[in-house]
Chains A and B, each alone.
Chain A
Amino acid sequence: QKEVEQNSGPLSVPEGAIASLNCTYSDRGSQSFFWYRQYSGKSPELIMSIYSNGDKEDGRFTAQLNKASQYVSLLIRDSQPSDSATYLCAVNRGSSNTGKLIFGQGTTLQVKP
């Protein structure tokens, strides 16, 4: 089992729809969770971080964390073609504060006009 798992996709949604991206992780000691967006040929860009169970909203993005079930998700409301990218889930390794992250392989999102 991979430490951080994501469905590689592609996930295709029509413009204006809600895109739901999911991630599961294996280390129960993990405390910090991150979503990055990566456009083709570019570097990862942090869009959300979440540390507590529940929802965290930032504009059109909502991150959801459930530590008991070991999953974290990202919802993108009113999806736009500019949201088409690969979304990377990252989880810190254990409870340490070294900042060492484990990344999933990423989910490719396609938003169709």
Chain B
Amino acid sequence: NAGVTQTPKFQVLKTGQSMTLQCAQDMNHNSMYWYRQDPGMGLRLIYYSASEGTTDKGEVPNGYNVSRLNKREFSLRLESAAPSQTSVYFCAVLVRNEQFFGPGTRLTVL
């Protein structure tokens, strides 16, 4: 996965619970991304970060927050999980105009 790690691999939440998905890269690149993938929908961009300390919204940011406190890590937070947020979440890093993905987190919200 080109040096991109994600934790946890699996998570089950109850509606209203909060959690943070973690993503880390060991390649010292600036741009990082969070996507969600739902059946038949392809990947959709939630948030991205062009550099340490900067973040911007993607296509589907509602219900999520992100944090890029340092160059290595980019976290995605669900403050109050909803069943509609059941999905597979992927983090990606931009390397010379190409994106490389982490292994993903499979999240189920009951």
Which residues from chain A sit less than 8 Å from chain B, CB to CB? 4, 8, 32, 34, 42-46, 49, 88, 90, 97-101, 103-106
Given contacts A43-B103, A43-B104, A100-B58, are A88 and B31 in contact (CB under 8 A)? no
A7 smallest CB distance to B (angstroms): 12
**Distance, CA A29 to CA B2, complexed state (A):** 29
Residues of B within 8 A of A100 (CB): 33, 45, 48, 58
* B95 CB, nearest partner CB in chain A, Å: 9
Docked pose: A4 CA to B44 CA in angstroms: 12
Closest residue of B by beta carbon distance from A101: B99
Interface magnitude class on chain B: 20 to 34
Given the complex, which residues of B lie within 8 Å of A106, measured CB to CB? Answer: 42
Most chain A CB atoms below 10 A, which of B1, B42, B50? B42
Query: B48 contacts A88, CB within 8 Å?
Result: no
Q: In whole Å, how far is A30's beta carbon from the nearest beta carbon of chain B?
A: 13
Point out the residues of chain B lying under 8 angstroms from A99, CB to CB.
Answer: 31, 33, 48, 94, 97, 99
A2 shortest CB reach to chain B, Å: 9
Contact in complex: B101, A43 (CB < 8 Å): yes
The 5 A-B residue pairs whose C-beta atoms are closest, nearest first, are: A103-B42, A99-B94, A43-B101, A105-B42, A103-B43
Question: Which residues of chain A come closer than 8 Å to B31, judged between CB atoms?
Answer: 98-99
* Residues of chain A contacted by B102 (CB below 8 angstroms): 43
Is there contact, CB below 8 Å, between B42 and A43?
no
Select one of B33, B41, B45, B90 contacting A43, CB under 8 A: B90
B45 with A88: CB separation less than 8 A: no
Give the interface centre of B43, B90, B103 by most chain A CB atoms within 10 Å: B43
